[in-house]
Amino acid sequence: MKATNDVENPSQSEEVKEKMKATNLDRFGVEDPLQNAEVAAQDGGANPNQDEAAEANELDELDESDESDGDEDESDEGDEDGEGLFDDDSTDFEEDDDVEWPASTVMYLPRVIDEKLLAYFKKYLEKDSNRGRLFRPSTTSLFDEDQQDELEELEEIVDESFRKCHVARETQTLQKLYNMLEKTIDEAADKFIEKFNFFSIVSTKEEYTLLNFAPGDFHKEHIECSSLTDESDGSSRRICVYLILETPEKGGSFDFTYQGTRIKPDPGSVLMFPSCPLHPVKLTKVGAGSLMMVTNYLL
């Protein structure tokens, strides 16, 4: 019995070989597809040079659109060393030059607050007539189970064991300055939600709070939300926003324990992350200078 072999016979007739060359020429643009493996791999004869040209054109169009947007911050500070930037498997969103992700769920926008607005804050807070008047020591509410339906009547005491800083009183001028931060927060939230679209449910903001951490001040590890059974706004917080107005020469870094990252922000920067028990944060003790920041929460 003769054994059959499905492998092509190397002693093909010249006529068969010529037909194969014609087919390859028509399909791949070469008589022998092995001469250009990249062309054969395109399955249809697509030209890689044409693909590269098309991609280059798309990038040029993106660059032109970025340059035409006058509202974007052109500063590249914080990006030069490549620290905390993007891995090869990062998303398209993570390639935004204005956005850094020190951790996968912690967004950092360096120097995006308008410099004139920072100057307005500084001028108002350092005004002679405001010294000693605007800020009060941070306080803690004494919780009494018998008064949990009357939260507004709880006694507040100064407690420096957990957080030591000063909190700005509410004034009309500060409220106007806070309102000028709205656009920065909204644009930052859009970037955050673009990556985590489940946060698109946020629809409103809490009241703003201005905190001043002087030398020796700190904030121990904490979460930026309250108990789910709490009826205050703290249980509805979805996203935490830190707007950095001024930074100290020493200390004053933000430690995210579970994310394993420490952030020393620049003035005019924004930090944004989920307000949940999985994102405890600690502010290290300020050594020299002061940390001035505005906090807000998206609900």
Where on the phi/psi map is residue 251: left (φ > 0), alpha (ψ -120 to 50), or beta?
A: left
Q: Quick one: 253 and 175 in the same domain?
A: yes
Measured between alpha carbons, how far is 206 from 225 in angstroms, rounded to an integer? 12
Question: What is the DSSP pairing of strand 270-274 with strand 106-109?
Answer: antiparallel
Tally of residues, the chain: 299
Tell me the CATH number at 127. Answer: 2.60.120.620
Percentage with pLDDT > 70 across the chain: 59
Rg (CA), the chain: 30
Q: Looking at this protein, which amino acid is placed at residue 53?
A: A
In terms of Cα–Cα distance, which of 264, 243, 267 is closest to 177?
243
Q: Quick one: 189 and 54 in the same domain?
A: no
Q: Quick one: 290 and 204 in the same domain?
A: yes
In a domain, 85, yes or no: no
Supply 113's token pair.
């607050």
The position carrying tokens 């859009």 is: 190
Measured between alpha carbons, how far is 85 from 118 in angstroms, rounded to an integer? 26
Q: Quick one: 133 and 19 in the same domain?
A: no
| Residues 258-279: tens digit of each pLDDT | 999 999 999 999 999 999 999 9
Q: Quick one: 21 and 110 in the same domain?
A: no
In a domain, 87, yes or no: no
Give the residue numbers spanning the domain of 234: 100-298
Full-model pTM: 0.64
Q: Quick one: 211 and 128 in the same domain?
A: yes
Show which of 28, 52, 68 is a domain's final residue.
68
Q: Quick one: 171 and 62 in the same domain?
A: no
In a domain, 95, yes or no: no
Q: Quick one: 127 and 253 in the same domain?
A: yes
In a domain, 89, yes or no: no
Q: Quick one: 152 and 260 in the same domain?
A: yes
Angle ∠(93,96,97) on CA atoms, nearest 5: 165
In a domain, 292, yes or no: yes
Would you state the pLDDT for residue 161? Answer: 86
CB 269 within 8 A of CB 293: no
| Residues 16-48: tens digit of each pLDDT | 456 556 555 555 454 554 444 444 444 444 454
In a domain, 3, yes or no: no
In a domain, 75, yes or no: no
| Residues 133-151: tens digit of each pLDDT | 999 998 776 555 555 555 4
In a domain, 178, yes or no: yes
Measured between alpha carbons, how far is 98 from 111 in angstroms, rounded to an integer? 9
197-210: average pLDDT = 91
Over 90: is that where the pLDDT of 95 sits? no
Q: Quick one: 159 and 218 in the same domain?
A: yes
Measured between alpha carbons, how far is 121 from 212 in angstroms, rounded to an integer? 12
Q: Quick one: 146 and 50 in the same domain?
A: no
Contact partners, residue 111, CB within 8 Å, separation at least 6: 73, 75, 77, 78, 266, 267, 268, 269
158-169: average pLDDT = 89
Mean of the per-residue pLDDT values of the chain: 75
Question: Domain count of the chain?
Answer: 2
Would you state the pLDDT for residue 225? Answer: 85
CB 260 within 8 A of CB 234: no
Q: Quick one: 134 and 249 in the same domain?
A: yes
Most confident of 60-64, 82-86, 88-92, 138-142: 138-142
The position carrying tokens 């169009």 is: 61
CB 268 within 8 A of CB 113: yes
The position carrying tokens 């605007």 is: 134
